[in-house]
Amino acid sequence: MGIVKLIGWWTVGVFLSITTCVTISNVLGEEVKQTAAWSLSPEEQELISVTNGDILGERDKNGVWDFHLYTTDGYIEMANGELVWVFGYTHAKGSFKDVGEVTTKEQVEQLLEPVKVPSDPIHLFVGEKARITLHNTGMHCADPNSGINHVAHTIHFHGLDLTPSVDGVPSLPVDPVLEHKSFTYELTPQYEGSFMGHCHVDSFNHILAGMYFPIIIHQDRTKTAYGYKYDRDYTLFFSELSATANEQLQEAGVVHGLQDWKADYFLINGRTFTDNLYHPCSVINDPRSRIVAYEDETVLLRFMAIGADHVFAIHPHGYHMEVVALDGRKLKSSYEKDTLCITSGERIDVLVKIPHFASQRKCLSCNLGAGVTIMHDHNLRGMVSTGKYPLGALTIFDVRSKEKVAKPDVPLTEGKPYNPLEH
């Protein structure tokens, strides 16, 4: 009975309070982007479509993709209001361009995007060479006496078949990137798929403090993966974060008792769910993490995970998932699951086929058609962050009818919660 109550109060809250949470500025921004899109070449439009408008590398006259990643530290805000110190990869504001040497906090704030967890994805293409340059800017928000200052970093391209010189393991054979130094990794992807990048220096501390990001390798410029066509795709990066351990690194550079390391947060794309559905830091207010789709569409979900020891058990309500690839390789035979376990370092690609619902039906979860359903970590520890439930790895399917598009598409201004049953 207690579990029913716990699940019930926020499920009802989702249906009674859910909002599209698209800000006015975002709507205006979309209009600007649409206007700009009219002047793009067909190839540029295809790139934007297949990469969901993510920031791309710069491509030189020889067709080589150039990316410049910078390491730094900073703070991220959690849905409960806590500011957590992290360090990770970032890039120039609005691009992956080279902004030169960055050595001070003022230069970091002026030239680079704020650090976030995970860092922005890198999109690559099979057979197209890429140069990825790592710049170590140092730490700028740690205690001056902390041992975390002046540490070296690398990028390990997890899952890619590469030579040792670009594998990112320190001194095997290339030394890690010291503070205020840089190193360029050159690679040409051979396989499409879902991969990740992370630091391999002091891996436990550096990765869990925030040094990881998705790598998506496309076969071409079409919405296909492993030969399967899809309409929309989402990359969902599940991870653990310990504000307690990060604070110890920030203050002293040492985590006291790594064997006792314990996650304070369980995240999807660096965020947790919260019962305050209007909160800007909630998973469902993140367009990368809130799964929006329409009837008759096929959605590709790229699951990836990183952490200390938690096994995420991903369970969508209302749908089965067709597993089509594991760790960047197409399966010879796909299979269906409604609960999928994923451990640190794994990547699992699935297709979710959205049925066609009769236009007079309204709500999937109450057997009335298109509407909102949830997807969450069924390893229930992953639903609890900082001792609170449900503050963890949970997102939603926001499935909309083709007959009547869900509205409003802008935030409510009169204070009345958006009720999808009324639309």
Per-residue pLDDT tens over the stretch 184-241: 999 999 999 999 999 999 999 999 999 999 999 999 999 999 999 999 999 999 999 9
- Confidence label for 413 from pLDDT (cuts 50, 70 and 90): very low
Model pLDDT, residue 152: 97
Model pLDDT, residue 17: 43
Please indicate, yes or no, whether residues 212 and 321 belong to a single structural domain of this protein. no
CA angle centred on 171, ends 201 and 176, rounded to 5°: 50
25 lies in a domain? no
**Is there a domain that residue 28 lies in?**
no
Residue at which a domain ends, from 198, 221, 244: 221
Domain assignment present for 326: yes
Q: Is 338 within a domain?
A: yes
Closest listed residue to residue 96, CA positions, set 66, 123, 119? 66
Q: Are residues 242 and 389 in the same domain?
A: yes
In DSSP terms, 388 is beta-bridged to 385
CA distance 164 to 215: 19
Model confidence pLDDT, tens digit, residues 94-123: 999 999 999 999 999 999 999 999 999 999
Query: In residues, how long is the chain?
Result: 423
Handedness of CA 162, 172, 199, 264 (dihedral sign): positive
Does 210 lie in the same domain as 88?
yes
Q: Are 188 and 66 in contact (CB under 8 A)?
A: no
Total domains in the fold of the chain: 2
Question: Which residue type sits at 87?
Answer: F
330-334 CB contacts, 8 Å cutoff, 24+ apart: 330/226, 330/227
Q: Would you say residue 87 has pLDDT above 90? A: yes
Residue of 127, 135, 124 lying closest to 54 (CA atoms)? 124
User: What is the separation of C-alpha 413 from the centre of its chain, rounded to a whole number of angstroms?
Assistant: 29
Average pLDDT taken over every residue of the chain: 86
420: confidence class by pLDDT, cuts 50, 70, 90: very low
Q: For residue 10, is pLDDT > 60? A: no
Shared domain for 213 and 236, answered yes or no, is no
Give the domain range for residue 167: 54-221
At residue 359, the pLDDT reads 47
Task: Choose among 211, 207, 208, 196: nearest CA to 241.
Answer: 208
Please say which residue of 221, 255, 276 terminates a domain: 221
Q: Taking residues 235-264, what's their average pLDDT? A: 93
Q: How far apart are CA 81 and CA 149, in angstroms?
A: 27
| Partners of 133 in the β-ladder | 68, 184
For residue 134, what pLDDT is reported? 98
Question: Rounded to a whole number, what is the largest CA-CA distance in the chain?
Answer: 65
CATH number at residue 73: 2.60.40.420
Which token pair is 203?
Answer: 């891996």
Residue 414 has pLDDT above 50, yes or no: no
**193 and 310 within one domain:** no
Mean pLDDT of 64-92: 97
Q: Domain ends where: 221, 248, 266?
A: 221
Q: Tell me, yes or no, whether 205 lies in a domain.
A: yes
Do 277 and 394 reside in the same domain of the chain? yes
Same domain, 101 and 141: yes
Inside any domain, residue 135:
yes
pTM: 0.85
What would the pLDDT profile of 277-310 be if each residue is shown by its tens digit? 778 899 989 999 999 999 899 999 999 999 999 9
Residue 272 lies in a domain: yes
187 shares a domain with 242:
no
Q: What residue spans of 252-358 are helical by DSSP H?
A: none
pLDDT of residue 162: 94
Three-state DSSP class for 10?
Answer: helix
Does residue 44 form part of some domain?
no
Whether 74 and 162 share a structural domain: yes
Q: Using one digit for the tens of pLDDT, what is the confidence trace for 368-399?
A: 556 889 999 999 999 999 999 999 999 999 99
* pLDDT tens digit sequence for 351-372: 999 987 654 455 555 545 568 8
Q: Are residues 145 and 251 in the same domain?
A: no
Q: Measure the CA–CA gap between 183 and 192, rounded to whole angstroms.
A: 25
Q: Which of 315, 344, 320, 347 is nearest to 331 (CA)?
A: 347
pLDDT (0 to 100) of residue 307: 96
How much is the average pLDDT of 16-38?
Answer: 44
pLDDT at 410 over 50: no
In this structure, are 398 and 274 located in the same domain? yes
Phi, psi of 71 (to 5 degrees): -95, 140
Same domain as 213, residue 75: yes
